[in-house]
Amino acid sequence: MKVIPTKIEGPVVIEPDIFGDGRGYFFESFSQRRFAEALCNIRFVQDNESKSRYGVVRGLHYQLPPATQCKLVRVVCGRVLDVAVDIRRNSPTFGQYAAVELSGENHRQFFIPRGFAHGFAVLSEEAIFQYKCDTFYDPEREAGIAYDDPQIGIDWGLPAEDIVLSEKDRRHPPLSRAFLFDDPQILSR
């Protein structure tokens, strides 16, 4: 697997080794040993999957301490713009974001460490999105930031009139009023 850094320290893009022939393809979507050698030793405890239609924006989500999460995300079918926003108050890249296109065609994965809010926009007719978390979901600790916060300035790659949000995601505060991390335990190399 190939690890590609983003413009922000922490989140990275992972390109798996793909073996294809006339029958189709095969790739190892996750190996604990290879992940530890290339990035960090992590133990994922929960896998999630969602299916969304074109225009859906999910996010920007994160969990509050002590339930902060690292995520390893990928798209099985379709195409999304995946985004990680640095919410570490003392970080030199605070409020900045890294974005990557994930698709069933490119097989890329995106690793998002603690201290980042996460979201994605569906660019195809529909998308099946999978992600691993190293901490269990805790509804008492969930938090979010407004997807359209001008301080962050994310270009989701969608016309504003096509964006579809959940009621919960409509109510997230801007970065200036959100809970932020002073010194999160970020997993790195």
**Cα 121 to Cα 36: distance, rounded to the nearest angstrom:** 29
Other C-beta atoms lying within 10 Å of the C-beta of residue 107 = 18
Nearest CA-CA partner of 178 in 70, 41, 51, 86: 86
The token pair that represents 55 in the structure block = 């225009």
Is 147 among the residues known to form the active site?
no
| Contact yes or no for 103/78 (Cβ under 8 A) | yes
Is 131 among the residues known to form the active site?
yes
The three-state secondary structure class of 18 is strand
The token pair that represents 100 in the structure block = 């990557």
Q: How many Å separate Cα 130 from the centre of its chain?
A: 10
**Parallel/antiparallel/unpaired status of strands 71-77 and 109-112:** antiparallel
Q: Which of 61, 107, 118, 172 is catalytic?
A: 61
List beta partners, residue 15.
Answer: 2
Q: Which of 62, 97, 107, 131 is catalytic?
A: 131
Active-site residue list: 61, 131
